[in-house]
Amino acid sequence: MAPSKRYRAAVLGGSGYGGAELIRRLLIHPDVELARVASVDHVGEPLAAAHPALEGVTGLVFEDLAPARAAEGMDVVLLGLPHKVSAQKAPELIQAGVRLVDMSGDFRLEDPAAYERYYGARHPHPELLGRFVYGLPELNRDRLRGARLVAAPGCFATCIELTLLPLARAGLLEGVVHVQGLTGSSGSGVAPSAGTHHPVRAANLRTYKPLEHQHLPEIAQALAQAGARDLALRFVPVSAPLVRGIFATAFVELPDAWTEERLRRLYEDAYAAEPFVRVPRKRLPEVAAVSGSNHAEVGVAVGPAVKGRRTAALFGALDNLVKGGAGQAIQDMNLVLGLPEGTSLQDPGPWPP
């Protein structure tokens, strides 16, 4: 008889794409047993009703459970719920005393006014803002170890933060920074919409929420924590004809002493010990290299000196459902539970993607 696993986990909001990735990673986790999956959709049906890849893999079914019931006997609960829904469910889970990793944007910000502006509603529990550790391990690893409450970062936010984090820590990130990010259709969620309808999406590029995307304040907050000064992000997101993946390009003006070789060394040193961030040596980042995996790639290009300044282009790529979503939530969970950080996340992803 196989030995029992050390910890038990429940997923709330398991019928979406993020939930699918959470479930898949938990089912192969050697130390954490996925014991319960709650959803308002497919209640009483097997998980394969929403996620065909799980056909025959597990006997679990979707359950319609109140938060306290879902948390009974659990060591950790992972929330794959939409924004504004997590904020309603979290207090009951916190009262139950369970460790919590939330994938929504409801607890990433410390400022309730910023939440109201970017999410279009007053936060129902502003007293909880600031109690959650922001779950970017490359920024907050020590705070995540043993934390009770974690707010996992957004997909665009993760990619852009990793792309700019070494500059912030080196004191080189200040003022206006222009960023463009392209994203795959799975980032819009499982419910069909005009933005994800295949006949339009498959051969199209279109922007949405230019200069006002909801990830802007969390990016600014995280980079300020890392050392950015007076940062003003100008971010334009673009829907791309991809299912998975994010590719971000940021433009920063640097003193002319910052040649491409010097900047590259800064990035290599910054991420040398990071298990899931790499700086490719022979090429620049690309989505296909990280699709399906928890890895992110970053890279740099630097132009010639003009009047004592150089323009640096910084690039980042990741899978929005894994390192930009559920994979990072699992990474956070591992740190919270004191487990090896990369457990169930080491696979490099398929090739071709």
Residues annotated as catalytic (active site), given as ranges:
155
Q: Are strands 76-79 and 99-102 parallel, antiparallel or unpaired?
A: parallel
How many other C-beta atoms are found inside a 10 Å radius of the C-beta of residue 216?
A: 23
Closest CA to 32 of 267, 351, 332, 247: 332
Q: 3-state SS of the chain: helix, strand, coil percent to 5? A: 35, 25, 45
CA contacts within 13 A on the Cβ side of 1 = 3
Cβ-proximal residues to 273 (8 Å cutoff; 6+ apart), any chain: none
Phi and psi angles of residue 323, each rounded to the nearest 5 degrees, phi first: -60, -30
Q: Which helix (H) or strand (E) holds 138?
A: helix 137-144
| Secondary element (H or E) of residue 316 | strand 309-318
Radius of gyration of the chain from Cα atoms? 20
Q: Which amino acid is at 16?
A: G
